[in-house]
Structure formats: C-alpha cells, structure tokens
C-alpha cells in the first residue's frame, strides 16, 4: 500500500504529462521539417535561433547552450547545417578560440519556407488546444522552469 502512495505522487503525473506532451508534439511536427529537407527538429531549432539572433549569428558555445547540446554535439549539428549550405562558420576576431555559426541566405530561405507549415502545426497541436488564458499561464510557467533549468536558452527564445 505504501508503494501505491509513492507512485500516486502528483509530481510524477505533472512531469510525466510534460514528457508525453513534448514527445507527442514533436512527433506531430516532425513531418513538417523532414518534408522540408531538415533532418531533425534540432536543425529547425538551430536555424530559428540563428534567425532571431542579432546579425543572424551566435557563438558556437551559445548555440550549444540554447540547443542543450555539448560542444561536440553542436559541432556535429553545425557541420551538417554547413554541408547543406544553411550556415557558415565565422571566426571571432576578438577571440581566436571562438567562432560563430552564421545563418546563410539559403538557411534563411529554408526557415521561411518551413515556418508557415510549422506554425500551422503548432496552432493545431498546441496553441489552439488552449484558451488564451491557459496559454498565457502555461507560457509563464514554462519560462520559470526554463530559466531555472536552462538559463542560457533565454538569450534568444523570448
């Protein structure tokens, strides 16, 4: 009986629902980016973050933080995006150890091509399922969680 109480914990329900909602939403949106020549949502996330950044560029280390990747993971991501012509690397003139990922014209064009279908999917499977008040409260709650768990991600995504 004690085990049942342990597993009836509402915290398990809340975090479980968050995982399930996240996974379900990504599964629904996957066809959008794959149908537009991107290998993953991570590609789209990185291109979108670059699109929204000043000068359409980010230090590789900042892109790693914002995409929750290791330095080697972001290197592989940028390598793939660079091979596809969506980004290029640019040396940081102030720090020879650092470089930027820069969105190319082809990358900006690809984001612009994917964005309408992506936003339609976001509306269908996320924002339109909630009332405006629910969406506002959810967004505020997610921002609190994000700021506590991934503070570097806040630099561009707000």
- pTM for the model stands at 0.82
For tokens 């968050």, the residue is 18
Contact between residue 58 and residue 100 where contact means Cβ atoms under 8 Å apart: yes
* CA dist list (Å): 102 to 26, 46, 56, 68, 105: 25, 10, 6, 18, 10
The one-digit pLDDT tens for each residue of the chain (158 residues) are 566 777 888 999 999 999 999 999 999 999 998 998 888 889 999 999 999 999 999 999 999 988 889 999 999 999 999 999 999 999 988 888 889 999 999 999 999 999 999 999 999 999 999 999 999 999 999 999 989 988 877 764 55
Report how far residue 87's alpha carbon sits from residue 56's, in angstroms, rounded to the nearest whole number.
10
Inter-axis angle of helices 10-34 and 41-51, nearest 10: 80
The residues pairing with 59 across neighbouring beta strands, listed in sequence order, are 100
């Amino acid at each position: 009986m004690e085990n049942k109480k342990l597993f009836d914990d509402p915290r398990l329900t809340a975090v479980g629902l968050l995982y399930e909602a996240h996974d379900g939403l990504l599964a629904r949106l996957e066809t959008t980016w794959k149908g537009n020549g991107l290998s993953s949502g991570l590609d789209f996330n990185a291109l979108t973050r670059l699109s929204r950044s000043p000068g359409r560029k980010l230090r590789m280390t900042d892109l790693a933080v914002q995409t929750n990747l290791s330095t080697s993971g972001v290197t592989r991501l940028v390598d793939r995006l660079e091979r596809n012509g969506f980004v290029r690397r640019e040396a940081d003139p102030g720090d020879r150890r650092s470089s930027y990922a820069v969105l190319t014209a082809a990358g900006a064009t690809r984001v612009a091509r994917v964005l309408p279908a992506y936003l339609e999917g976001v509306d269908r499977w996320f924002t339109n399922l909630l009332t405006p008040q629910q969406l506002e409260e959810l967004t505020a709650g997610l921002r609190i969680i994000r700021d506590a768990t991934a503070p570097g991600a806040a630099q561009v995504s707000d």
